[in-house]
Structure 1
């Protein structure tokens, strides 16, 4: 079975930024693992915190429930919640080796994670560095000798909220028209951040229009990604 891993800083990031890719590959038979390192309980749960009597544990429970329902809508095979906190997120060596274990066990054909820069949310680039560091470690023969090492899966950086401010440039456009309804259903699971529903619908339309412009296909809905490593092919077309 083909596999992929999504390393999501907070429990909603994988929905807004990679929901189409997840649903598309899940529909094609891929087993997609989503690792939510944090619930986003401090910095991305303002609507929940405005409710009277709200507690930290209730926020986490609500966020997990939303993400689980969204993952089900997208066809995620395995979603994990590591509860590492946010603002700032806690990414120590123990967590790093835990992600290495995931990479080696799942053996992903590709990895999705955040942009390398984001002045609006420092958790995001911290997670990108963390995900890349884990990939390098998973390739190292000296880490847990005797285990099969990871190959060289491509890492795609999904779109940040304000790409112009994050030195993020789209390099790969993905046609998600066949699964847009699934992504929108997943988006609507994220009740705590309802103000983003229409925003990411507009992003999907914009990237779809750009994908159509850069191809000969009538694409309506799209997602865009930036590559980390060179693209190795047998032929150029």
Structure 2
């Protein structure tokens, strides 16, 4: 039996918490492995409060790393940092190769990453492009990298900050109610982006309302239900429509 392993590829140190913290915490609560590939610390474009406080680049990197490590620990995940530099994060053969090696080392059964569109933040599509390219190349037997080739793990795009502008439609609504408190604790590890705590709490509630409406009546959802929204990059393979 294949061991369940979720791989999360994110552009910045906080992205995995806001967008996929519930999915990560749920997987970890089931005893599954979760590895987060954090391509940058978000040191230039996602740390305005730290720059205003007069901190330097390396100090900000260290601070954001500590926050991300603390958040990942709360969620129950392992986090690996690539320090590729943000604003801009560039698609590169070298970074894609590093992700291919991570795919082969972790053998993910599920992959989460950004959308391929985001007119406000080019780092997010860049991360998604490399996550998708690495998935394909990691499965090519002739590609020169260590480890066994991967299969075809499903890839889900988590919800961007401004979904209407990023071509995002909620295709999958994930019930994260049972781990909401864990996600909120992880969010509170990200003091450099405290302005987002309430925003993503409200978003979780809204997706929870949609989840209940789409699931139908009498399914026993609590009055306070929290959700996360996702899109699929590839078709679902199934023997039964459900």
Q: How does 1:32-47 map to 2 (within 5 A)?
A: 32-47=34-49
CA RMSD of aligned residues (A): 1.2
Alpha carbons 1:84, 1:91 under 8 Å: kept: no
Which whole-Å CA distance do the structure 2 matches of 1:148 and 1:39 have between them?
29
Report the count of equivalent residues.
Answer: 235
Deviation, 1:166, is 0.5
Q: TM-score, normalised by structure 2?
A: 0.94
Equivalence for 1:223: 228
In structure 2, the CA distance between the partners of 1:137 and 1:176, relative to structure 1 (3 Å rule), is: same
Deviation, 1:73, is 0.7
Alpha carbons 2:25, 2:183 under 8 Å: kept: yes
Deviation, 1:163, is 0.3
Deviations 1:186-235 (A, max 9, x none): 00000000000000000100001101110033261000100000001121
Which whole-Å CA distance do the structure 1 matches of 2:112 and 2:79 have between them?
14
Equivalence for 1:61: 62
Larger mean Cα displacement after TM superposition, 193-202 or 217-226: 217-226
Q: How does 1:143-154 map to 2 (within 5 A)?
A: 143-144=143-144, 147-154=147-154
SS in 2 for 1:223: strand
Equivalence for 2:19: 17
SS in 1 for 2:118: coil
SS in 2 for 1:214: helix
Q: TM-score, normalised by structure 1?
A: 0.96
Q: How does 1:100-111 map to 2 (within 5 A)?
A: 100-111=100-111
**1:236 pairs with 2:241:** yes
Which aligned segments of 4 or more residues in structure 1 are displaced greater than 3 angstroms? none
Which whole-Å CA distance do the structure 2 matches of 1:81 and 1:91 have between them?
16
Equivalence for 2:52: 50
Unaligned runs of 5+ in 1: none
**1:89 pairs with 2:89:** yes
Alpha carbons 2:105, 2:147 under 8 Å: kept: no
